[in-house]
């Protein structure tokens, strides 16, 4: 656990007002702690999600919103959950989970996707403002939704602004016959944000909005940030801190986010495949020159990254295996381990990194065998909890 210093005098800078200039190389210690905090909020959306296909509540959450942070030991961050958000889409839950969607299932079409939280008084004083957070959950496996992505750009508000159709579907789909999605995820989250912003603004408080997500959750974070910044204009500074976020929209979408003042910090693990899709490598090269930019603008498959990138590399860590591992490269716990150990692109892994290494093996077996940590995770086919020990040669124990 890091010391909590008062950042009230520099919160705007840490929030991205200067696009994190001079804060990433080397990584500012205060910014690192803030990134870790928001990453833990995103992880909470995974840790409290019910993956058990034998449960009629599969696709729901384990805890009430008033106990979520207490159950996950996150009360130290000084926030409270105010709203749960549900979404609809076949790319949120892979097809091999369809067995859970029987007549007795809690919901056949909705899944718990994230939540809204707000800083309490003491934390707000430390932060220098009232911070409203939206945390979005990603999908179970890194390639499941990639296979379902339609790789087709669809208009978003303005004719030239386009985003990936599947991501937008998750964010905006609703069904009047649904218990949890009579309103779309977009409508649910924006109604709560409007209420909170109005309440704290009326009290004369300064308010910020920070949106965090991993993988698909990172894509939803950008759509959410776009809508929030458009809704609140210049009244509320909006930033998104994403992990393993895929490309979401075209060049016009990127430019529009910049124009309306959304600050985006993208954390990317170099060998992770998800931040490289959708799109094609050729398009990346094209958009960096004027001629290519004008051509690429009109191509429906042209995607562009947004914001500022903070690249980490799993090869820098002496504690994890460096063998090819799609799931391990994409794991959110691996991402935060790499952030905790990051000092600069030219430096070795930080020796005074503070995060418990055992957390890496929550869902992957990425820790090196010499550390003798068992893997504690979930079988992706049966969703059963298990532990394994490759050091002692033990077979999986249920």
**DSSP per-residue letters across 70-127:** HHTT-GGG-EEEEEEEEEE-TTTS-GGGGGG-STTSS-SSEEEEEEEEEE-HHHHHHH
Residue 362: exposure state from Cβ atoms within 10 A (0-12, 13-18, ≥19): middle
Question: What is 11-312's CATH superfamily?
Answer: Alpha/Beta hydrolase fold, catalytic domain (3.40.50.1820)
Q: Vertex 68, ends 65 and 73: CA angle to 5°?
A: 160
In the block, tokens 């429906």 appear at 300
Residues 349, 341 contacting (CB under 8 angstroms): yes
Bridge partners, residue 263, by sequence: 239
Residues 305, 277 contacting (CB under 8 angstroms): no
Beta-sheet strands, E only, within the chain: 79-88, 110-119, 130-136, 153-156, 158-164, 207-214, 238-243, 263-269, 308-312, 375-378, 385-389, 394-397
pLDDT for position 145 = 53
Beta-sheet strands, E only, within 157-295: 158-164, 207-214, 238-243, 263-269
pLDDT for position 343 = 95
In the block, tokens 């393993």 appear at 244
Its pTM stands at: 0.88
Residues 319, 337 contacting (CB under 8 angstroms): yes
What amino acid positions are annotated as catalytic residues? 215, 272, 330
| Domain range annotation of the chain | 11-312
Mean pLDDT per segment of 10 residues, for the chain of length 398 residues?
Answer: 81 97 96 95 92 80 95 95 89 50 65 96 97 90 51 83 91 89 96 98 97 95 98 95 94 94 97 82 47 51 88 96 91 93 94 88 88 66 38 31
> From CA 80, how far away is CA 132, in angstroms rounded?
10
pLDDT for position 382 = 36
Bridge partners, residue 119, by sequence: 79
Within 8 A by CB and 6+ apart from 251, the residues are: 287, 293, 296, 297, 302, 304
Residues 241, 146 contacting (CB under 8 angstroms): no
Residues 72, 44 contacting (CB under 8 angstroms): yes
pLDDT tens digits, residue range 95-139?
Answer: 544 444 445 567 777 889 999 999 999 999 999 999 999 999 987
Q: DSSP 3-state assignment of 139?
A: coil
How far is the CA of 174 from the CAs of 31, 108, 344, in angstroms?
A: 37, 13, 44
pLDDT tens digits, residue range 292-303?
Answer: 555 555 554 578
Within 8 A by CB and 6+ apart from 147, the residues are: none
């Amino acid at each position: 656990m890091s010391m909590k210093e008062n950042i009230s005098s520099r919160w705007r800078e840490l929030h991205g007002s200067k696009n994190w200039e001079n804060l990433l190389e080397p990584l500012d210690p205060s910014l690192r702690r803030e990134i870790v905090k928001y990453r833990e909020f995103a992880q909470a959306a995974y840790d409290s999600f019910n993956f058990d296909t034998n449960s009629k509540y599969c696709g729901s959450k384990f805890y009430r919103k008033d106990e979520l942070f207490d159950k996950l030991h996150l009360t130290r961050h000084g926030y409270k959950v105010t709203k749960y958000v549900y979404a609809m889409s076949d790319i949120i839950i892979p097809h091999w989970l369809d067995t859970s969607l029987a007549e007795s299932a809690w919901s056949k079409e909705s899944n718990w996707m994230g939540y809204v939280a707000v800083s309490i008084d003491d934390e707000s004083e430390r932060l220098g403002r009232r911070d409203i957070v939206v945390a979005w959950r990603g999908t179970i496996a890194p390639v499941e939704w990639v296979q379902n992505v339609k790789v087709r750009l669809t208009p978003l508000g303005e004719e030239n602004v386009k985003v990936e159709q599947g991501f937008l579907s998750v964010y905006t789909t609703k069904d009047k016959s649904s218990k949890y999605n009579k309103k779309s995820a977009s409508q649910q989250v924006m109604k709560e944000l409007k209420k909170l912003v109005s309440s704290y603004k009326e009290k004369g408080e300064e308010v910020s909005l920070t949106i965090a997500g991993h993988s698909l959750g990172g894509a939803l974070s950008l759509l959410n940030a776009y809508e929030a910044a458009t809704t609140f204009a210049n009244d509320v500074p909006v930033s998104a801190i994403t992990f393993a976020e895929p490309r979401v929209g075209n060049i016009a979408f990127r430019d529009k986010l910049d124009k309306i003042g959304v600050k985006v910090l993208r954390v990317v693990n170099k060998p992770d495949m998800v931040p490289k899709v959708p799109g094609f490598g050729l398009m990346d090269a094209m958009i960096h020159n004027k001629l290519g930019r004008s051509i690429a603008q009109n191509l429906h498959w042209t995607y562009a990254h947004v914001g500022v990138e903070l690249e980490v590399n799993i090869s820098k860590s002496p504690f994890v295996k460096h063998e090819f591992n799609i799931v391990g490269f994409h794991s959110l716990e691996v991402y935060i381990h790499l952030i905790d150990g990051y000092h600069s692109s030219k430096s070795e892994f930080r020796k005074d990194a503070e995060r418990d290494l055992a957390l890496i093996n929550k869902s992957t077996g990425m820790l090196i065998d010499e550390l003798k940590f068992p893997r504690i995770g979930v079988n992706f086919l049966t969703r059963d909890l298990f532990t394994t020990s490759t050091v002692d040669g033990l077979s999986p124990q249920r």
